[in-house]
Amino acid sequence: MTTPQNPSGEDSLIARYFKPLATDPGAFGLVDDAAILSASGEDIVVTTDAVVEGVHYLAADPPDTIARKALRVNLSDLAAKGAAPAGFVLTLALRSKDDSWLRPFADALGEDAKAFSCPLLGGDTVSTPGPQMISITAFGRVPKGRMVSRTGAKPGDRILVTGTIGDAALGLGVLTGGALAGALASDPAARDFLVSRYRVPQPRNALAGAVRDHVTAAMDVSDGLAGDLAKLCAASGVSAIVDVPSVPLSPAVAGLIASRAAGIETLLAGGDDYEVLCTAPAGRSDSLIAAGQAAGVAVAAIGTIVEGDGRPRFLDGQGRELVLKRQSFSHF
């Protein structure tokens, strides 16, 4: 990854766009084949998530939002694991090296890397004849043995979630046209809000320390609240009851549900929320909510962990169970 006397296209691309992001000494300015992640007795948390054109983002999405999403879906995992970001490596599969795409992509990636204290450590840039793909492996640090797992939820724990649920699923609905776009024609602010929630997740890294201190289990909601809660419950050997009216909704989503332009069942199974889903004993859950207030991150209690191994149940305001046609997004 250096710039030799006879720089190849790949090397000059890396030097031009990505070397400025490699601010960590362990990145060696991207002039080596590998990076160093120094460790002093803490655990290194490793997570990897890829975004594919046409699957996780739309080909017409602005390159700066694609860059932010690619990094933030990984930062969101680190937040849910209670880890402080330490850096990331980037694999970029490109059809062409188009400056009008790469420049805003790299600039936005650099801004987020700085904002989240997660410097670029290395990467690989390859050509592909197919859809573009950005694969990121991100690293975090936690005190030894303190990574928050999915497996610790206990009957009686409260179920909590950050932010609001369903915005991104409706944002994607807006971008792909159809009835939803019509329902929002008279409310461009709501439309823009939902689209931005799809394109640019807000990872809850500000809450990572409190997550580590207070919760029994956590994961980020990426494939839909219902399906992801089912995964957390399965990993913990428990079940759950969710009070659907307590699920936090943005005003835009609440308005669309009130006007019947969207259904809550769809949102509970929608993807791309990138909020933290976690469980905590009652006293601890109050501490987490308070920590969220201090950090500017809304945290809402939405239900209770119960014994059993059945699928989590979602109850409406009258205690009736909602039937979800699907639980979550799946690639296959």
Contacts with a second copy by CB under 8 A: the residue count is: 85
Asked if 245 is part of the footprint of a second copy (rule: CB under 8 A), the reply reads no
61, 120, 125, 191: which one contacts a second copy (CB under 8 A)?
A: 125
**Interface positions, 260-319, toward a second copy (CB under 8 A):** 309-311
Q: Which stretch binds a second copy (CB under 8 A): 137-145, 208-216, 258-266, 293-301?
A: 137-145
**Is residue 321 close enough to count as binding a second copy by CB under 8 A?**
no
Q: Which of 15, 16, 20, 43 binds a second copy (CB under 8 A)?
A: 43
| Cβ-based nearer residue to a second copy, 41 or 178 | 41
Instruction: Write out the binding residues for a second copy, residues 225-244 only, by CB under 8 A.
Output: 227, 230-231, 233-235
Judged by CB under 8 A, the residue of 71, 109, 135, 215 near a second copy is 135
Distances (CA, A) of 271 to 184, 221, 281: 20, 8, 27
Cβ-based nearer residue to a second copy, 41 or 296: 41
**Contact residue for a second copy among 48, 117, 176, 293 (CB under 8 A):** 48
- Smallest CA-to-CA distance from 72 within 138, 167, 142 is with 138
Q: Kindly report the number of other CB atoms within 10 A of residue 321's CB atom.
A: 11
Question: Tokens in use for 283?
Answer: 């006293």
Residue with smaller CB distance to a second copy, 145 or 188: 145
How many residues are given for the chain? 332
CA distance 279 to 61: 34
Contact 119, 27 (CB under 8 A): yes
When the beta carbons of 48 and 176 are compared against a second copy, the nearer one is: 48
- Asked if 32 is part of the footprint of a second copy (rule: CB under 8 A), the reply reads yes
Binding to a second copy (CB under 8 A) within 173-202 occurs at none
**Does 46 sit near a second copy (CB under 8 A)?**
yes
The Cα angle at residue 290 between residues 288 and 292, in degrees rounded to 5? 70
Q: Which helix (H) or strand (E) holds 87?
A: strand 84-94
The yes or no reply on residue 131 touching a second copy (CB under 8 A) is yes
CA-to-CA distance for 121 and 39, rounded, in angstroms? Answer: 14
For residue 252, give both structure tokens. 């835009």
Is 109 among the residues that bind a second copy (CB under 8 A)?
A: no
At its nearest, how many Å lie between a second copy and the CB of residue 241? 15
Euclidean distance between CA atoms 18 and 27, whole angstroms: 11
Return the number of the residue (131 or 263) whose C-beta is nearest a second copy. Answer: 131
Give, as ranges, the residues between 69 and 98 that touch a second copy (CB under 8 A). Answer: 77-78, 80-81, 83, 89-91, 93-94, 96-97
> What is the number of other CB atoms lying within 10 angstroms of the CB of residue 291?
18
Q: Please state the closest distance from residue 218 (CB atom) to a second copy, in A.
A: 9
CB contact at 8 A, 99 and 161: no
- The single residue among 220, 272, 273, 275 that binds a second copy, judged by CB under 8 A, is 220
Q: Is the dihedral of CA 131, 98, 92, 200 positive or negative?
A: negative
Residue 25 sits in the site that holds a second copy (CB under 8 A): no
- Taking the complex as a whole, the smallest distance from the CB of residue 193 to a second copy amounts, in Å, to 27
Q: Give me the least distance between CB of 44 and a second copy, in Å please.
A: 4
Shortest Å distance, C-beta 65 to a second copy? 18
Task: Give me the least distance between CB of 315 and a second copy, in Å please.
Answer: 18
d(CA 28, CA 2) in angstroms, rounded, equals 10
Q: For residues 318 and 81, give the distance between their C-alpha atoms in angstroms, rounded to a whole number.
A: 34
Amino acid at the residue 69: K
Buried b (16+ CB within 10 A) or exposed e, 141-161: bbeeeebbbbebbeeebbbbb
